[in-house]
Structure 1
Amino acid sequence: MSNYFSSVKLFFKRFFVVLFIYQICRLLFYFFNKNAFENISAKGFLGGIHFDLSAIAYINLVFALLHFIPGNFKYKPNYQKYLKIGFFIVNFIFILTNFVDFEYYKFTGRRSTFGMITASGMENEIGGLIFSFLIEFWYLPILALVLGILFWKVIPNLKSATEQSYNWSQIAKQSGMFVLLMGFVFLLGRGGFQKKPLRIVDAVNYGSINQSAIVLNTPFCIIKTIGKKETLESPKYFSETELNQIFNPITEISSAENPNKKNVVIIILESFGRENIQRGQTPFLDGLIEKSLFFENGFANGKLSIDAVPSTLSSIPSLMNNSLITSSYSINEVYGLPKILKDNGYQTAFFHGAFNGSQNFDQYCKVAGFDNYFGKNEYVGPEAFDGRWGIFDEEFMQYFSGKMTEFKQPFFSTIFTISSHNPYIIPEKYKGKFPKGTTKIHESIAYSDYALKRFFETASKEDWYKNTLFVITSDHTSSEPTEKKFKTNVGKFRVPILFFDPSNPSIVGKNQKNLQQIDIMPSIIDYLNIDSKMITYGKSYKSEKDFVVYYLDNIYHYISGDYYLAFDGKKSLGLCNFKKDELLKTNLIKTEKAKATEMETFIKAYIQSFNERMIGNKLTLQ
């Protein structure tokens, strides 16, 4: 049995070497993202070991079997050689996934999942982007190489073992040990004896709401999402009657006035978070805000570009771990702006200067009902490929303006800009023209603002301009806010939302209402005086309702009036008055129980309605 115990000990020695490396990765993750976290507790780091043990156990189940299985063959040199090589390769690949989030977390605000790692919808861009990222983040591959060399050197080897004869008693003992040890490793992977295996959402038990990423590790998140399509369940909080009394997404808009048949242009600016405007980088947009109806409390529905399109165009919130466009519900029938306006005589088109197929926007545009999609392939104009993503904003927005001049009025067009996306490339001719700002994105933000200015200069000379409502927002916030208030779970979703109508001076001013991307669709329909009955999870800007809902890291975030509530699907985690307490330092959940109960009731109804309609493909009225 001495040889057998040596093999068992060898496995656990190797296991704890990997566990130690996971702690190094957690410290590195914190180092690279320390500006995103405040008041990190030891509990978060210690709780992370729970998730590390789970991930390492699942990853190494096969190696556990190869170490624990009875038999003399385990002690042969070649067996041990290839066992060590296999152990190193498999574990190091998973360790490297943590390196992705050292920088990618700044953009997403959450640990990467299998879908995010595999970059679905980014096949055309990925080659150029990887090259750019390797140049920009050169220190990561060097760090990974050093860690890999150290990992290989510290993996212990099996001490020489002499071949031993087996009798039935030894076989029985080793078989019993095999079963017990495999059961133990599986239990580690499961996370313990609790009713359900350890889940990503369980990270909230070890720290504050916005510190789950410290507790988690990327391999765990990947393992938990491999091969899993987004499958929602109805939480059944309420009966159908109760549900509709609390929240009903069926919205009817009717007007005493005739439809005004204005053109509609939606401009979604890449990464133009609220933290990036009105600070000197965006002089044109800042000036346009003064001529527009601007919502001081504007919010995005997600942290990814792919979340913004269905939210803005179809009033569908991003309340899943996968974006709707890449989920199993991506072909659900929707009745959003393209179809509503098309039913009212509008020509519709979507523009995105990146490679066709980028982020599956073209696929979603078909589902949403756009007449046309214009991407990099359709672009006609001066050579303006940025070498990575697609066409620079200035040239593509000029193309955008030109195409709309060809459209029959009324028309509805949407453009999604690209130049203010990492790696933040601007044309050579503009190098040194724009202020650098304080973070990497600021120069490209300034360039995109200039491109926006050029677009309006061109568009304002066209006949359709004065008969057009312009709606401008951002897809999400950017990666590195400098002010603390933009690092909270409220601040990291703040984006500009403005309505500009050059022929209507009455739609001007600063509005304090809480408004988000899903509110844009019903607001436009209301502004155009179009009678419509639809499913919308938002509300018109004219509505007295004042709520916002978004989702991140398995937590539902709900804003109502001045209050913010975090809810994990079962219980409320925190309540703050975010307008008085911008940094969300004071949890009011025990002192304002009535408010917490009221808000929890609403968010439960909202979640149940969304899940049931998504599951049943009931986002349209029959």
Structure 2
Amino acid sequence: MQRLVHEFNILLRYFAFWLIICFIDRAVFIASFSEKIGEDGFMDVLEIYWHGLSLDFSVAAYICAIPFLFYFLSYFIPKMRWGLKPLHVYTMLVLILFFLTMFINVNIYREWGDKISKRAVDAVLEDAMGALASAESTPIFIPIMGIILGVGLSYWLYTTLFKNLRYRNFHKPTAVVLLFVLIAGLLFTFIRGGYGRAPLNPSRAYFSSEAFYNHAAVNTQYALLKEYFSSNRRNHSPYLYFEPEERKEILKPVFTQAQDSSLQILTNTRPNIVLLVLESFTADLVESLGGEKGVSPNLEKIMQQGVFFQHIYATSDRSDKGIIGIFSAFPGQGPESIIKYIDKHENLPGMGQELDSLGYRSAFYHGGQSEFYNMKSYMLAHGVEEVIDNHNFNPLEERSSWGVYDHVVFNRMLKDIQKEKQPFFYSLFTLNNHEPFTLNNGYKFGDKSNADKFRSTAYYTDSVIMDFLEQAKKTAWYKNTLFVLVADHGHRLPSEKFDITHPNRFHIPMVFFGEVIKPAYRGLKVEKIGNQNDLLATLFKQLGIPAYRYRWSRDLLDPQTPSIAFYNSKNSFGIIQQDQEISYDQVGNSINYMKNKDYPKSKTDSLLNIAKAYYQEVYQDFMNY
């Protein structure tokens, strides 16, 4: 019996070691965002640890499972008795992966508001240099030192725990089988999280209305591994709320609008179109949208002279979803992104296709790599005749870590348009207002913090756009051109006031500009709440183009269009109306943000049902494509 206890003690120590590593992971995460912990700091942290304990136990059990299996097989297969060296190597490799994930997760959460996920890993694997460029916006020295120190000190702890320990101290098969049953039962229990009908999942750790507390409680490695080993989301929806007919009925009022009541703001239905997609240009950069003063003075002038949509929200939180939201009017799909799947995104309808059928010449410009997020394949599959990107510029041109500077790209587009036959549809996706917010010619607001760098690159983008418009005014095509400016998504900077669940994080500018707009409508401020995917139907109505293929896009210049917007990220989604704004956490199955707590519960529940039906139907479309 004493030998059995001794052997059990060895395995218990190894399990406890990995449990400590899980605790360290959470401590690093909490320390990195300590400003998010409330007044009851110590008690809040204890509660976070308590609610995350079952996931920690599960991760420790998963890691112990492989050594445990070899441990017992070695009793019956002498050739497998390799000593402790394989365990040392296995432990070191897992530690490296653990700490690498730990510190990458901190940077991702700071930038995205979500913890590390399969989507983030896939993005790194697709474009390692691009991911490295994003990481440059945070001090790289700290995570590197953290990984080295963490792995080194943890391995020292491991060797200390196992110093002078001997194992395989008995040889009777009955004792080995007894120990196997005992350990296997414990590991299975910890991995599954008990013996209830529902297996363990990240929602077990959710306990608070504060999103950060829940995110801190969820074990980082557990959530990441679950994504990799869960069902393929191409064919399995995370939104399961209503039957098809029921959700269609719920959504019917949202998409009710008259056929002929839209304002006609253009002087003709066949203008040239120049669409400028502004990287990360959040409303916090625009004074007229409640943002900071002086960051985008030229955009303010453009808004005063154009048609300014004041309450526009990005469909989601990243560029890959913003591009699809703008060009195909397809909302964000939460944990998935349709542009990743060429076989799916080719079946989407697209703005470029419709304009191509009307004789518009088209091109898409981007200073970075257009292959990133399959932007190139998407554009070429949707009527865009030419994609100009990083590869089309002289290697000596001015560049940042992401690619060619925006002013160089604007100049190239201006030069190419001069040779173009009208009407044309040219689009440009800016680059420099992206991490690491690099400028070669000085920072308007300094470079002491990422927020100041972000303001400076936004100011640069703003000035480049005005330079482009001033040059365009000298051309023959300018008077018959509609310029459309819209952001791809919001950003945590410069204020860092709003996390990924807050609607203000998704608030973005959108404006129509140009002499092709009737004088009576120049300076018009559109109060209606909408999404960037409503741009397409709004534009097509002005051009007299049917938009029936774009079921998720609504004409914002039609007075009958309901004032409502939606937004989502990987694990949450939200809905915005004039009197109420709600964000819902899918993992915790709970509301994690509510603007108006005095709003009638029945109306809040009804609004939430609209959001649930909306994203269930959107994801069904994603699976059908």
> TM-score, normalised on structure 2?
0.86
Residue 109 (structure 1) aligned with residue 124 (structure 2): no
Following TM superposition, by how much is the alpha carbon of 1:164 offset from its aligned partner in structure 2, in angstroms? 4.8
CA distance 1:424–1:398, shift in 2 (3 Å): same
CA distance 1:129–1:2, shift in 2 (3 Å): farther
Question: Out of 599, 615, 619, which is 2:623 matched to?
Answer: 615
CA distance in 1, matches of 2:87, 2:395: 58
Q: Name the counterpart of 1:378.
A: 392
Residue 311 (structure 1) aligned with residue 325 (structure 2): yes
Q: Name the counterpart of 2:65.
A: 61
Q: Name the counterpart of 1:468.
A: 481
CA distance in 1, matches of 2:162, 2:601: 58
Following TM superposition, by how much is the alpha carbon of 1:162 offset from its aligned partner in structure 2, in angstroms? 7.4
Following TM superposition, by how much is the alpha carbon of 1:134 offset from its aligned partner in structure 2, in angstroms? 9.7
CA distance in 2, matches of 1:325, 1:222: 22
Question: Out of 136, 141, 144, which is 1:138 matched to?
Answer: 141
Residue 533 (structure 1) aligned with residue 548 (structure 2): yes
Residue 519 (structure 1) aligned with residue 519 (structure 2): no
Aligned length: 601
Mapping of residues 584-603 of structure 1, within 5 Å: 586=597, 592-603=600-611
Following TM superposition, by how much is the alpha carbon of 1:255 offset from its aligned partner in structure 2, in angstroms? 5.3
> Does structure 2 retain, via aligned residues, the 8 Å contact 1:63–1:87?
no
SS of the counterpart of 1:265?
Answer: strand
Residue 489 (structure 1) aligned with residue 511 (structure 2): no
CA distance in 1, matches of 2:593, 2:18: 40
Mapping of residues 16-95 of structure 1, within 5 Å: 16-34=16-34, 41-42=44-45, 43-69=47-73, 71=75, 79-95=83-99
Question: Out of 219, 222, 231, which is 1:220 matched to?
Answer: 222
Following TM superposition, by how much is the alpha carbon of 1:75 offset from its aligned partner in structure 2, in angstroms? 13
- 1:446-471 Cα offsets, whole Å, 9 max, x none, are 22222222222222222222222222
> Does structure 1 retain, via aligned residues, the 8 Å contact 2:502–2:593?
no
- 1:279-329 Cα offsets, whole Å, 9 max, x none, are 222222222222232233221122211111111111111123122222586
CA distance in 2, matches of 1:440, 1:524: 34
Question: Out of 246, 249, 254, which is 2:250 matched to?
Answer: 246
> Does structure 2 retain, via aligned residues, the 8 Å contact 1:101–1:111?
yes
Q: Name the counterpart of 2:166.
A: 161
> Does structure 2 retain, via aligned residues, the 8 Å contact 1:435–1:446?
no
Following TM superposition, by how much is the alpha carbon of 1:348 offset from its aligned partner in structure 2, in angstroms? 2.3
- Name whichever of 331-340 and 140-149 sits farther off: 331-340
CA distance in 1, matches of 2:346, 2:197: 33
SS of the counterpart of 2:369?
Answer: coil
CA distance in 2, matches of 1:370, 1:113: 32
CA distance in 2, matches of 1:200, 1:455: 49
CA distance in 1, matches of 2:109, 2:145: 19
CA distance 1:204–1:318, shift in 2 (3 Å): farther
Q: Name the counterpart of 1:148.
A: 151
CA distance 1:568–1:403, shift in 2 (3 Å): same
Structure 2 residue identity aligned to 1:310:
I
Question: Out of 247, 254, 265, which is 2:274 matched to?
Answer: 265
Question: Out of 273, 276, 279, which is 2:285 matched to?
Answer: 276
Following TM superposition, by how much is the alpha carbon of 1:524 offset from its aligned partner in structure 2, in angstroms? 1.1
Following TM superposition, by how much is the alpha carbon of 1:121 offset from its aligned partner in structure 2, in angstroms? 7.2
Residue 298 (structure 1) aligned with residue 315 (structure 2): no
Mapping of residues 380-529 of structure 1, within 5 Å: 383-386=397-400, 388-427=401-440, 430-432=441-443, 435-436=446-447, 438-482=451-495, 484=497, 489-504=502-517, 505=519, 506-529=521-544
CA distance 1:200–1:400, shift in 2 (3 Å): farther
Following TM superposition, by how much is the alpha carbon of 1:180 offset from its aligned partner in structure 2, in angstroms? 3.7
CA distance in 1, matches of 2:522, 2:180: 74
CA distance in 1, matches of 2:38, 2:418: 50
CA distance 1:162–1:537, shift in 2 (3 Å): closer
Q: Name the counterpart of 1:620.
A: none
- 1:327-359 Cα offsets, whole Å, 9 max, x none, are 586445111211122222222222111024122
- Name whichever of 332-341 and 204-213 sits farther off: 204-213
CA distance 1:507–1:29, shift in 2 (3 Å): farther
> Does structure 2 retain, via aligned residues, the 8 Å contact 1:362–1:373?
yes
> Does structure 1 retain, via aligned residues, the 8 Å contact 2:333–2:622?
no
Structure 2 residue identity aligned to 1:91:
L
SS of the counterpart of 1:271?
Answer: coil
Residue 286 (structure 1) aligned with residue 303 (structure 2): no
- How well do the aligned residues superpose, as a CA RMSD in angstroms? 3.3
SS of the counterpart of 1:318?
Answer: coil
CA distance in 1, matches of 2:427, 2:82: 62
Mapping of residues 195-210 of structure 1, within 5 Å: 195-209=197-211
> Does structure 2 retain, via aligned residues, the 8 Å contact 1:305–1:475?
yes
- 1:550-598 Cα offsets, whole Å, 9 max, x none, are 22242221223321223356997338663xx5xxxx4x5xx62220232
Residue 178 (structure 1) aligned with residue 186 (structure 2): no
CA distance in 2, matches of 1:32, 1:134: 15
> Does structure 2 retain, via aligned residues, the 8 Å contact 1:253–1:530?
no
CA distance 1:124–1:112, shift in 2 (3 Å): closer
Structure 1 residue identity aligned to 2:276:
I
SS of the counterpart of 1:377?
Answer: helix
Following TM superposition, by how much is the alpha carbon of 1:264 offset from its aligned partner in structure 2, in angstroms? 1.9
SS of the counterpart of 1:546?
Answer: coil
The gaps in structure 2 that reach 5 residues or longer are: none
CA distance 1:56–1:322, shift in 2 (3 Å): farther
Structure 2 residue identity aligned to 1:317:
P
CA distance in 2, matches of 1:255, 1:349: 31
CA distance 1:445–1:359, shift in 2 (3 Å): same
Structure 1 residue identity aligned to 2:442:
K
Residue 605 (structure 1) aligned with residue 613 (structure 2): yes
Structure 1 residue identity aligned to 2:540:
I
Q: Name the counterpart of 2:361.
A: 347
CA distance in 2, matches of 1:496, 1:37: 32
Structure 2 residue identity aligned to 1:166:
H
> TM-score, normalised on structure 1?
0.86
Q: Name the counterpart of 1:193.
A: 195
- 1:186-209 Cα offsets, whole Å, 9 max, x none, are 332233334343334555445534
CA distance in 1, matches of 2:137, 2:79: 41
> Does structure 2 retain, via aligned residues, the 8 Å contact 1:294–1:510?
yes
- 1:204-243 Cα offsets, whole Å, 9 max, x none, are 4455345432222332232112266423446675554444
Structure 2 residue identity aligned to 1:147:
G
- Name whichever of 200-209 and 23-32 sits farther off: 200-209
The gaps in structure 1 that reach 5 residues or longer are: 618-622
Q: Name the counterpart of 2:566.
A: 549
CA distance in 1, matches of 2:258, 2:359: 18
Percent pairwise identity = 22
Following TM superposition, by how much is the alpha carbon of 1:483 offset from its aligned partner in structure 2, in angstroms? 5.6
Following TM superposition, by how much is the alpha carbon of 1:604 offset from its aligned partner in structure 2, in angstroms? 3.1
Following TM superposition, by how much is the alpha carbon of 1:375 offset from its aligned partner in structure 2, in angstroms? 0.9
Structure 2 residue identity aligned to 1:595:
K
Following TM superposition, by how much is the alpha carbon of 1:101 offset from its aligned partner in structure 2, in angstroms? 1.9
> Does structure 2 retain, via aligned residues, the 8 Å contact 1:354–1:389?
yes
SS of the counterpart of 2:320?
Answer: helix
Following TM superposition, by how much is the alpha carbon of 1:79 offset from its aligned partner in structure 2, in angstroms? 1.8
- 1:93-134 Cα offsets, whole Å, 9 max, x none, are 12320201212212211011123124267437348638x739
Following TM superposition, by how much is the alpha carbon of 1:379 offset from its aligned partner in structure 2, in angstroms? 3.1
